[in-house]
A and B are shown apart, each in its own frame.
Chain A
Amino acid sequence: MNKFRIFCLSIFTVVFLFKPTHVFAAEGDGGGRLVVPAEVRNKLIPVALVGFPPGVSSVLSFDLEVMGCKIVPEGDASFVVEGKIEDALVGKLSDKTGNVEFHRKYPGGTVRDQAHALSNDVIKAITGKPGIAHTQILFKMKTGARAEEVFLSDYDGHQPKALTSDKTLVGSPKWSPKGDEIFYTSWLKRGGLENTTVVRQNLATGSRDVMARYRGLNTGGALSPQGFLAMILSKEGSPDVYVAPPAWEFMKDLKGENLNRMCKTREEESGVSWSPDGQWLCFATRARGKRMLVKVAAQGGNMIRIPTNGVLNPSEPSWSHDGRWIAFTSQMGGFNVCVVPAQGGEAKVVASGEGPTWATNSRNLIFTRRGVNKRRLAIVDVPTKQVKILPAFDGSSSQPAWGK
């Protein structure tokens, strides 16, 4: 019991001590009018960083390049971000003709937090869309011969903290839509058996619940905004997609009689992802030997194919927050991160890699890239296809899930 308390406490610590401190609203706005070139949307935006110490400019460079900028010398830049550290970070954004958009101070938090806040302001000013530099990610990391843990870190891979300490295999960490809970698959040994188990974990308290532990495969664990939990279970003899109603409890339905079975195939369904409005559930399946993405209405019904023209063997779908796109992995020799309109159509390869999930801006994807002996996380800016690789973690890392 003590062990559990310590575990809860450590989770508590993770969430409350290491969550990036809120950076207060920037002060001293110098209102200028920025001239934004028309071609900015699909091309890398040339930005210069002037005056920042290396620790700050490395954070700014990463953030801005993730969000579609290219760091260039001042003479080649369309925009100049200039600043320094006084008692806090001070930053100024101007265009190349010298129009000043803002000139602000970023008190509070760490210097990294302050730099992320400045990056977000720069992106908001140039593109009109909110930045994602303050977001966090979940992923799983290999920590031993037969051990993996779920980790939480800043979106750029900094401040990684373990959320589990089970020393067992884990997979498919996912966020609840509100971001207060996570779901993952654990191979925790119970009753002499490493039976897969879908686990829900509260980020604030660290408390955990078993959401499914039937015979065979229990994975998926994707929560809809309405509270429906989609899972992949093989309890009836084949991996199929099931949906549990809100407030459903596994311990009160040990035969799964109140689960809604969304498909009944011999094939191996995988990778469930809800549409942001919770009306559709997308997953990968196979029909007549051909692997494909399909969607089913939340209440059940026919599987409707989502065509991914131009690529083969789709899996691991992720529906964008604006509802317009589905990212997925295609496999044709190697693995490619692809994007297709949510209703299906021409698929576009945006990076080599696998397991993409969308940032809240519906523009960036985080994914896994295999290297020699190690898997690493990377981010692609979909419109420009610019890829940034995250710093290497101690262990092989994969299955990132992008949060708020």
Chain B
Amino acid sequence: MRLMMFSKVVPLMVFIGFISIGCKSSKENAALTKIPTSVNNAGVGGNGNTGGDNSNPLGPGNPGDNGGNSGGTDIGGNPVEPLSIPENYREERNVFASVHFDYDSAELRPGDMGLITQVAEHLMQNPAHMLLVEGHCDERGTEEYNLSLGERRALSVAEELAKLGVTVSRLGTQSFGEKVPVSDSNSKESLAKNRRGEFVLFMPMTGVVELPQK
């Protein structure tokens, strides 16, 4: 039943989202030519680029695909196009707590597995939702190294979510290196808080969504 409803709602939502992105991009791109809002709508986003051969920003909208992108390979757990967030989606940063990492490590801690499972379950129960995993580091690394380490951390989380059954095309990763600490202090506790993976959930603005209880 859910799948059937989904198959009707999603294409409409996708279509609306697509139109709004298309309109917005021409204005936004004025500041920096040739940045596509996403790879998929590059060819039709009003910015004159014709590189993309896909005409639908969220793929064919096959419910079995959880409504996500169909492009990209699943092998590395990461399709090549950036996530495309429709304009009628809102960003929720505080739905899930963050996972944390040991110094100079991108290994998931056993204690965080429950949280990651919870995130995976939420995504599977809400097929229209998309997730960005942000990777962050403490400042005890060089800037360039931390940028790559932060990405490695975010990817470790995304890989685990994929293992738990989340379609990888709904998952994005982004490193911020040491640029966005939650605590500026130099204490051991602050550094530990800064070594984290944050879950940023994107969901449609309309409709009733049951967020997991904290």
Per-residue interface assignment for chain A, residues 147 to 191, with 1 indicating a CB less than 8 Å from any chain B CB and 0 otherwise: 010000000000000000010010110000000000001111011
Contact status of A238 and B152, CB under 8 A, knowing A214-B82, A252-B51: yes
Contacts of A3 in B (CB 8 A): 30-31
Residues on the B chain within 8 Å of A315, using CB: 141-142, 144-145
Task: Identify which of B49, B72, B73, B148 gathers the most chain A CB atoms within 10 Å of its CB.
Answer: B148
Select B176's contact among A169, A256, A267, beta carbons within 8 Å: A169
Within 8 A of A (CB), among B69-93: 71-73, 75-87, 89, 91
What is the size, in residues, of chain A's interface with B at 8 Å between Cβ atoms? 65
Q: Is the CB of B145 within 8 A of A284?
A: yes
Q: Verify B35–A194 contact, CB threshold 8 A.
A: no
Total B residues in contact with A, Cβ cutoff 8 Å:
60
Bound complex: CA A169 to CA B83 (Å): 19
What number of A-B contacts does a CB cutoff of 8 Å give? Answer: 194
Stretch at the interface among B36-44, B60-68, B112-120: B36-44
State in angstroms the CA–CA spacing of A51 and B117 once bound together: 74
Binds B, one of A106-114, A117-125, A228-236: A228-236
Is there an interface contact between A193 and B83, defined as CB atoms closer than 8 Å? yes
Measured between beta carbons, the chain A residues less than 8 angstroms from B51 are 249-254
Which residues 211-255 of A sit at the B interface, judged by CB distance below 8 A?
A: 213-217, 219, 232, 234-239, 249-255
Q: Tell me if A311 is interfacial: C-beta within 8 Å of chain B.
A: no
**B98, chain A: closest CB distance, angstroms:** 17
Residues A169 and B172 in contact, CB atoms below 8 Å apart: no
Interface residues of B in 101-156 (CB under 8 A from A): 106, 132, 140-145, 147-149, 151-152, 154-155
Known: A251-B49, A270-B148. A237 touches B75 (CB 8 A): yes
B contact patch SS: loop
The docked-state distance in angstroms from the alpha carbon of A399 to that of B144 is: 9
Closest Cβ neighbor of A211 among chain B residues: B34
Q: Name the CB-closest residue of A to B106.
A: A268
Please determine whether B37 and A190 come into contact, CB atoms closer than 8 angstroms. yes
Q: Chain A: which residue is nearest B169 at the CB level?
A: A215
23 A-B residue pairings within 8 Å (CB atoms): A3-B31, A171-B177, A187-B176, A188-B32, A191-B37, A208-B32, A208-B34, A209-B33, A214-B39, A215-B83, A216-B155, A232-B148, A238-B152, A251-B51, A252-B51, A268-B152, A270-B147, A271-B145, A329-B142, A331-B141, A331-B142, A354-B143, A398-B143
